[in-house]
Amino acid sequence: MSSSTVDIVRRLGENAEAVCRRYLGNGRREGHYWMVGNIHNERGRSLYVRLPSHHDGALSAGKWTDAESGDHGDLLDIIAASCGHASFRETLEEARRFLSLPMEPPAARNPAPRKHPAGTPQAARRLWAGSKPVAGSLGQAYFLGRRLLDAACADALRFHPNCYYRVSEDDAANCRPAWPAIIAAVTDDAGAITGVHRTWLDPAGGKAPVAYPRRAMGHLLGSGVRFGRAAPMMVFGEGLETLLSVREVLPAMPMIAGLSAAHLAAIAFPDGLRRLYIARDNDDAGRIAFETLAERASGTDIELLPLDSELGDFNADLTTFGHDRVRNAIKAQLCRTDRIEQF
């Protein structure tokens, strides 16, 4: 952090209550804290911002913590979330305006890194790099609500506390442009990130109340979200939560999620693959994807076998029936040798 940025953070801390009244106006002061629902200025008392006091001066003023999500930061984070900024430079300029400081001369600025066009693999890798582990986050709480107990430890998944959401014509007029999100890395057969999949979340629980709470970007064709290294026996599936549900009862088996029926059908077969289970959704798209994969596998040494859920998909089974019933149902569909090895 540059000296000028440190000075801005210090000045904001000295004026922490004024910052909160401006950018977290739905909260209120309680003792030495400003209390509000979350960084997006929703009503509530989960997030608390430390205000200057006579006891510790301004040393910790402006630091905030969200007791529900575990996220924390300083007042620059709050300004960025309130204004929906796409870059740190925008946030610094807004902070300077708030503090009535002169704008930094253009010649004195460090050249901003070139922003990659939206939807490209480069933009996907940038979002992945800016995300953090799922464990301990709102993302883990979401997974637990879907009865996915081990998902937070998966290397292919991360969490972003304030992920940009492109508002569409189908969204409400007051839809905000950023939400917490689970970020899944889409990789090719060599392990290179070619895209990401985002699941936006509501801090109050469940998916965000937006028209399209799931979106992918980057190059997806032939790639997928991978769990474990390629092996002679694997599972392919369509939806992320569907495959994570299968992974709850087959934790050692390598898997790839295609993220849609069309992309499931196009996943590249890893070298050395000999037996492939398809966790297909119980609909026409799932049936067509299986038939396409079967056609691609014909004439190869790959044996293709279905894994069918009782309801629409395996996460519906898991949340409705529980782990034991899903485990027994999947176990019954495996080849005898695989059943012995996995169970």
**pLDDT tens digits, residue range 220-271?**
888 999 999 999 999 999 999 999 999 999 999 999 999 988 889 889 999 9
Looking at residue 17, its amino acid is E
Sign of CA dihedral 81, 85, 89, 94: negative
Kindly give the pairing relationship between strand 275-280 and strand 233-237: parallel
Both tokens assigned to 9? 């953070």
Q: How far is CA 51 from the centre of its chain?
A: 31
Residues 6+ apart with CB under 8 A from 115: 86, 87
In whole angstroms, what is the distance from residue 227 CA to residue 257 CA?
8
pLDDT above 50 for 164: yes
Residues in the chain: 343
Distances (CA, A) of 135 to 41, 150, 195, 275, 292: 24, 10, 22, 32, 37
Question: Which of 9-13, 50-54, 179-183, 311-315 has the lowest average pLDDT?
Answer: 50-54
Phi and psi torsions of 278, nearest 5°: -110, 110
**Given this model, what pLDDT does residue 122 score?**
87
pLDDT band, residue 106 (cuts 50/70/90)? low
pTM over 0.85: no
**Given this model, what pLDDT does residue 190 score?**
86
**All structural domains of the chain:** 3-108 (3.90.580.10), 118-219 (3.90.980), 220-343 (3.40.1360.10)
Which pLDDT tens digit goes with each residue over 190-213? 889 999 999 999 999 999 999 999
Mean pLDDT of the chain: 88
Residue 20 and residue 39 in contact, taking contact as beta carbons nearer than 8 Å: no
pLDDT above 60 for 188: yes
In whole angstroms, what is the distance from residue 134 CA to residue 163 CA?
14
**Given this model, what pLDDT does residue 340 score?**
83
Measuring CA to CA, which residue among 221, 240, 229, 252 is closest to residue 279? Answer: 240
**Given this model, what pLDDT does residue 333 score?**
95
Which pLDDT tens digit goes with each residue over 265-323? 889 999 999 999 999 888 888 889 999 999 999 989 999 999 999 998 999 999 999 99
* Burial letters 143-170, b for 16+ CB under 10 A, else e: beeebbeebbebebbbbbbbbbbebeee
- pLDDT: which is higher, 21 or 59: 21
**Given this model, what pLDDT does residue 55 score?**
52
Which pLDDT tens digit goes with each residue over 110-157? 544 455 666 688 888 989 998 999 999 999 999 999 999 999 999 999
**Given this model, what pLDDT does residue 221 score?**
86
- Percent of the chain past pLDDT 70, that is, above it, reads 92
Looking at residue 162, its amino acid is N
As a whole number, mean pLDDT of residues 166-191 equals: 90
**Given this model, what pLDDT does residue 107 score?**
46
**Given this model, what pLDDT does residue 108 score?**
47
**Given this model, what pLDDT does residue 85 score?**
75
Return left, alpha or beta for 206; rule: phi > 0 is left, psi -120 to 50 is alpha, else beta.
left
**Given this model, what pLDDT does residue 16 score?**
92
Distances (CA, A) of 197 to 77, 176, 265, 266: 24, 20, 17, 17
Q: How far is CA 305 from the centre of its chain?
A: 30
